[in-house]
Amino acid sequence: MNNIKFLENPMRKASGQGADTAFLSLEEAQRARSFHKSFREYQPTPLVSLPNLAKALGVGRIYVKDESKRFGLNAFKVLGASYAIGRYLADRLGWDPSRATRDALGSPEAREKVGDIVFTTATDGNHGRAVAWTTQQLGQKAVVYMPKGSDPTRLANIRAHGAEASITDLNYDDAVRLSLKMAQENGWVIVQDTAWEGYEDIPRWIMEGYTTLALEALEQLREDGVSEPTHIFLQAGVGSFAGGVVGFLASTLGDKMPTAVIVEPNKADCYYRSAEAGDGKPHAVTGDLDTLMAGLACGEPNTIGWEIVRDYAHAFISCPDWVAANGMRILGAPRTGDPRVVSGESGAVTTGILECLMLYSQLSEARKALNLGEDATVLLVSTEGDTSPRVYRDVVWHGKACSPVFPDA
Ligand SMILES: Cc1ncc(COP(=O)(O)O)c(C=O)c1O
């Protein structure tokens, strides 16, 4: 329907029979969260319940984890970047990871021992801001490369943390290659939120860092009397986030893990296409990757994330930009009685697709396949707030990327 493509995962394996998820276990998630707690800015982000939206869509409950409140940075990404930089520095210092806290790593003794390090990365904005923030906190330096068309506000937010940052004329995947080349030539450390052959420690730590939000969400759900969600929708760029969360849920909940649906923009749907190819290998999408969902504009899957998602996720969806724009509007102008969530393009696409699945008759087969109905408790993660205020206003005030179709009910 209108370019919304749905695919049940043909390669899914039974609990514990697929890719190794030990590095995303409950114990590792608790370790990552202890590290995050050592920052003064740490607080669990709100888990927002939207009972009136749930009723309108015909599901039991909807919860949105609001990552716009994360460390004052308007996005979840700092969970990964901070943990990876923390673990890297602990390794260089020869410390046990449990010694890695913000104060210990930023102390004059630690700084003197490791010396001045330049951390580099490529980013659509959120990850780069996270790297810049962490290096500022720990007294180190960051050099950040952004793909062409990146938002100037996102660039300014990175520079505000003292990093050297620039917008290149490359797409995301080529900007990653530039960052890697600069690291090799200058002896810098690349902190990339995606893995490739031979580059796995840092992306693994990044994925572990993301488990903090999943651990918090499970605890918050339990406080609300829900033992676990029945469904989770996860947006994917390179899939470190989706892989981290799916791996954590598979490792922690086993057979009780929720139905996990991976959602991507049509223009950068490398997970959908890899699943469709069905040969078990990751497949890349090339070109400009020009989607409104800047955080999801990545054409090459994280090799570690791909294996986890391939083995444990239930379904894949590829969708156009208006679905994300609808999600922003639905969360920004909630049903009477529900709280408002300010959600950006990459944050809101899962809300947008849930509405489509529940209200559009053309998607009834997908709705049935996912068993989405009155008994469902759906967990969504709004991974960013209005990280581009301009785009937020264009969409929410002025109707950019409007729906070409309207729900039947
Ligand atoms: C707001 C937001 N949501 C989701 C993602 C997707 O994360 P990943 O690239 O790990 O799939 C990103 C990535 O930058 C992002 O910025």
The residues annotated with a catalytic role in the active site are 77, 124
CA 406 to chain centre: 28
Q: How far is the CA of 213 from the centre of ligand 1 (A)?
A: 14
What distance lies between CA 218 and its chain's CA centroid?
Answer: 17
| pLDDT tens, position by position, 151-165 | 999 999 999 999 999
Domain with CATH 3.40.50.1100 in the chain: 5-76+202-396, 78-192
Residue 175: other Cβ atoms inside 10 A: 23
Greater confidence (289 vs 323) lies with: 323
Per the CB < 8 A criterion, the answer to whether 349 and 380 are in contact is: no
Contact 297, 345 (CB under 8 A): no
Class assignment of domain 5-76+202-396? alpha beta
Distance from residue 362's CA to the centre of ligand 1 (Å): 28
pLDDT recorded at residue 286: 92
**With a 6 A CB cut-off, is 240 part of the ligand 1 pocket?**
yes
Contact 56/335 with Cβ under 8 angstroms? yes
Mean confidence (pLDDT) of the chain: 96
In one-letter notation, the amino acid at residue 255 is D
Compute, in angstroms, the gap from residue 237 CA to the centroid of ligand 1. Answer: 5
The two three-digit tokens of residue 257, written as one number: 């893990």
Half-sphere exposure of 23 (CA within 13 A, CB side): 18
Tokens read off for 152: 């100037």
Summarize pLDDT for 187-244 with one digit per residue, the tens.
999 999 999 889 999 999 999 999 999 999 999 999 999 999 999 999 999 999 999 9
Distance of CA 127 to the CA centre of its chain: 10
Query: Closest by alpha carbon to 211, among 254, 235, 240?
Result: 240
Q: Which atom of ligand 1 is nearest to the CA of 80?
A: 10
Whether 386 is in the pocket of ligand 1, judged by its Cβ within 6 Å, is no
Residue whose structure tokens are 């994300």: 324
The pLDDT assigned to 408 comes to 73
Output the CA–CA distances (angstroms, integers) from residue 210 to 69, 77, 281, in the order listed. 15, 8, 24
| Cα–Cα dist 30/272, whole Å | 31
Q: Is the alpha carbon torsion for 319, 324, 330, 331 positive or negative?
A: positive
pLDDT of residue 288: 84
The predicted structure's pLDDT at residue 126: 94
Measure 8 CA to ligand 1 centroid, in angstroms.
22
**The residue count for the chain:** 409
Rg (CA), the chain: 20
Mean pLDDT of 105-121: 96
Task: pLDDT band for 406, please (50, 70, 90 cuts).
Answer: confident
326 lines ligand 1 (CB under 6 A): no
Sheet hosting strand 118-122, strand order edge to edge: 164-167, 141-146, 118-122, 189-190
Q: Does the beta carbon of 346 lie inside 6 Å of ligand 1? A: yes
Q: Which amino acid is at 322?
A: W
pLDDT at 134 over 70: yes
Q: Is 77 in the pocket of ligand 1 (CB under 6 A)?
A: yes
Mean pLDDT lowest for which of 53-67, 241-255, 284-298?
Answer: 284-298
Q: Strands 47-49 and 61-66, how do they pair?
A: antiparallel
- Per residue in 295-317, pLDDT (tens digit) is 999 999 999 999 999 999 999 99
Q: How far apart are the C-alpha atoms of 25 and 33, rounded to whole Å?
A: 12
Q: Alpha-carbon distance 62 to 65, whole Å? A: 10
**20-56 residue pLDDT tens:** 999 999 999 999 999 999 999 999 999 999 999 999 9
To which residue do tokens 């922003």 refer?
328
pLDDT at 109 over 80: yes
Structural fold of domain 78-192? Rossmann fold (3.40.50)
In the three-class reduction of DSSP (H, G, I as helix; E, B as strand; rest coil), residue 129 is classed as helix
What is d(CA 353, CA 334) in angstroms, rounded to the nearest whole number? Answer: 16
d(C-alpha 341, C-alpha 67), whole Å: 10
List the beta strands (DSSP E) in 207-278: 231-235, 259-265
Task: Give yes or no for residue 348 CB within 6 A of ligand 1.
Answer: no
Inter-residue contact 158 to 132 (CB < 8 Å): yes
pLDDT for 9 equals 98
Q: What percentage of the chain exceeds 90 in pLDDT?
A: 95
User: How many angstroms is it from 109 CA to the middle of ligand 1?
Assistant: 34
Mutate to test the pocket of ligand 1, among 68, 173, 235 (most ligand atoms within 8 A of CB): 235
256 CB neighbour count, 10 Å cutoff: 11
Q: How sure is the predictor about 287, in pLDDT bands with cuts at 50, 70 and 90?
A: confident
User: Which pLDDT does position 18 carry in this prediction?
Assistant: 97
- Output the pLDDT for position 409: 63
